[in-house]
Homo-oligomer: A and B are copies of this chain.
């Protein structure tokens, strides 16, 4: 067989050759842009020229600090296209972590959204590797203390729009870099390769996973700085899919309008995004019937969320699982052919699981007795291996904690049922160990969030003098003025949980602290509440 190396550049080339007229819809600060793949292709090649002229060499890192929009998409292909490494930087990191990762990655050039400039200006004196700042905006260059600065659009102007992507001599060469937060300490980097990116894109196109297709109009809400928007921009480009980018500072209203107006068929994001959208849909009416799938990952989706989309809006809700270390797609929860005829409540129970491993990867769930029983009850840590799973953190001593014996140890506690469906029970760190028994914080949260009055709920373990740990629930009401008592919530929970599993207290909060990618920041809650029994 031919020794043809998998390469990211070839994915854009397919769109340029076979789908030049298909559209990219891109919301930026000023307006909604519409570009064809032909234009995106030309601009990408101009950007490649510009980066080469700025001196970016093979293997060097180019950082992006940006929302989801067409210029970011161009960077997705131009940077690997010159054999450099696309380092997508999380815009929600602290100044300290931002400084750390830009230095750790040794970014040579940064591409920055205009509205995000202040975040980089703050740390400009501490990131000496960066030799050029390219500002991605619709208008003239803003005033900034950064130097040297370039306007993205001016850089492209006049550049040759013919550029042959550099040949990829080894598909295992690095092409992307993304940092993930650690429980303590600095973020950890995951290096993607041409091979991992292409294979992962193929997995997204499989009929039994997300079935990304030319016929789709895909809107990644999950940020392009968060595991490459789960790989959707790569796969969508390869397959000639119309892409809709929600751009900066979007809110549920913006999303609902884009879905309605652009007839979005496929969208992807974390549960908090869909909770927000659901609230918007309840308040204002939108036509979201174009959606064939709402993909939800990042953390477990509560049952009622799945139910609301499927039953109230007749929109299939696709629960998936992955992490930065896994490119990210690992599992998708769709019913098997012979499960189509089971009662709706059982279907929902299956759909609420994280699903079955996609073709190409292997998973196992392991505790101290070995692989768990496939009964949906026995718990263990989820282990993963495969060609788009990281084998280490980028230049990081902490690699050995997660990677050993050829498997990624996810730190996620899961069960596997008879049918092979994985269900995440908790993070190893979030499980509550009460008097020798385990209590799942995720189960309690989902139960609480199923209550009509509750918007969000987080349950954490707090140290207890007798039981070692006990659960404490923190809830945010949909309507802060609603009069609901703890007793009512306890009555609601008692129907589903044994008494000893109930939280020791339910605290009403205005908001639950979240991580930079919208997951509950349980560490902060635990810190805040650790003296509850002192």
Contact = CB atoms under 8 A, between A and B. Distances in A.
Interface of A: 1-4, 6, 10-11, 13-14, 17-19, 21-22, 172, 191-193, 195-196, 198-199, 201-203, 205-208, 211-215, 238-240, 242, 336-338, 356-357, 359-360, 362, 385-391, 406, 408, 419-420
B391 A2 contact: yes
6 smallest A-B Cβ distances: which pairs? A207-B211, A207-B213, A18-B420, A1-B196, A205-B206, A2-B391
A239 B420 contact: no
A360 B202 contact: yes
A219 B279 CA distance: 47
Given A17-B420, A419-B18, A4 B387 contact: yes
Contacts of A6: 387
Nearest to A19: B336
A337 B192 CA distance: 32
A502 to B, nearest CB: 36
A201 B360 CA distance: 11
27 contacts: A1-B172, A1-B193, A1-B387, A1-B390, A2-B387, A2-B389, A2-B408, A4-B385, A4-B386, A4-B389, A11-B359, A13-B362, A17-B420, A18-B419, A18-B420, A199-B202, A201-B359, A202-B206, A205-B206, A205-B207, A206-B207, A207-B207, A208-B239, A214-B337, A238-B359, A239-B359, A240-B336
A391 B1 contact: yes
- Among A17, A192, A212, A419: residue with most chain B CB under 10 A: A17
A231 to B, nearest CB: 13
Nearest to A386: B4
Contacts of A172: 1, 3
B21 A388 contact: no
B202 A21 contact: no
Nearest to A406: B2
A238 B362 CA distance: 12
B359 A391 contact: no
B239 A385 contact: no
A126 B263 CA distance: 66
A238 B356 CA distance: 13
B208 A214 contact: yes
Contact of A1 (B4, B195, B242, B336): B195
B359 A14 contact: yes
Nearest to A11: B359
Nearest to A191: B1
Contacts of A199: 202
B192 A1 contact: yes
Nearest to A403: B2
Contacts of A191: 1
A396 to B, nearest CB: 15
A11 B239 CA distance: 24
Contacts of A390: 1-2
- Among A1, A17, A215: residue with most chain B CB under 10 A: A1
A239 to B, nearest CB: 6
Contact of A385 (B2, B336, B357, B359): B2
Contacts of A336: 19, 214, 240
A482 B218 CA distance: 56
A205 B359 contact: yes
Contacts of A202: 199, 202-203, 206, 359-360
Given A18-B357, A207-B239, A215-B337, 19 more contacts: A1-B192, A2-B385, A2-B408, A4-B386, A4-B389, A10-B362, A17-B420, A18-B356, A22-B338, A199-B202, A201-B359, A202-B202, A202-B203, A202-B360, A205-B205, A207-B213, A208-B214, A208-B215, A238-B359
